Amino acid sequence: MPFVSIRILEGHSQTRKNEISRRVTEAISEIAELPKEAIWVVIEDVPGSDWFVGGKPVREPKGS
């Protein structure tokens, strides 16, 4: 049973996350020749203050 964990910056709509999950599930199902029901996808929202690029947060925490 494939388990896919996706971390994205918070703020994406549920519609967008649903589409990401649908497409990832379809791709794995097709390539691995597995039923879609066997594929688990988890999307985790990460605050910009906890996401770092080049040692700096993508978004500064409020109150900084």
Residues noted as catalytic: 2
Helix (H, G, I), strand (E, B) or coil at 17: helix
Neighbours of 41 (CB within 10 A): 17
Q: Which of 3, 21, 10, 2 is nearest to 44 (CA)?
A: 10
